[in-house]
Chains A and B, each alone.
Chain A
Amino acid sequence: MAKFLLPLLLALAASLAYAGEAAPATADPVLEARMARITAELRCLVCQNQTIADSQSGLATDLRQQVREMLQRGDSEQQIIEFMTARYGDFVLYRPPVRSSTLLLWFGPALLLVASITTLVLVLRRRSKLADDQFEPDPEPPEAR
Chain B
Amino acid sequence: MKKYLRYLIPLVIFLALVGFLAAGLKLDPKEVPSPLIGKPAPGFALTRLDQPTLTIRREDLLGQVWMLNVWASWCTACREEHPVLLDFAKRRLVPVYGLNYKDQRSAGLRWLANYGDPYETSLFDPDGRVGIDWGVYGVPETFVIDRAGVVRYKHIGALTPEVIRERIEPLLRQLHG
Residues of A participating in the B interface, judged by any CB pair closer than 8 Å:
45-46, 48, 58-59, 62-63, 66, 85-89, 91
Contacts and interface: CB of A to CB of B under 8 A. Distances in A.
Given A45-B137, A45-B138, A88 B127 contact: no
A88 B29 contact: no
Interface string B100-132: 001000000000000000000000000110001
A62 B135 contact: no
Nearest to B29: A48
Interface of B: 29-30, 32-36, 102, 127-128, 132-135, 137-138
Contacts of B33: 89, 91
Given A45-B137, A87-B133, A87-B135, A62 B32 contact: no
B32 A45 contact: yes
Q: Which 5 A-B pairs have the closest CB atoms?
A: A45-B137, A87-B135, A89-B35, A91-B32, A88-B135
Given A62-B127, A87-B132, A46 B137 contact: yes
8 contacts: A45-B138, A48-B29, A48-B30, A59-B137, A62-B132, A87-B135, A89-B32, A89-B35
B127 A89 contact: no
Nearest to A62: B128
Contact of B137 (A66, A85, A86, A88): A88
B128 to A, nearest CB: 5
Contacts of A63: 132
Nearest to B128: A62
Given A86-B35, A87-B35, A88-B35, A58 B102 contact: yes
A89 B36 CA distance: 8
Contacts of A87: 35-36, 132-135
Nearest to B135: A87
Contacts of A88: 32, 35, 135, 137
Nearest to B74: A58
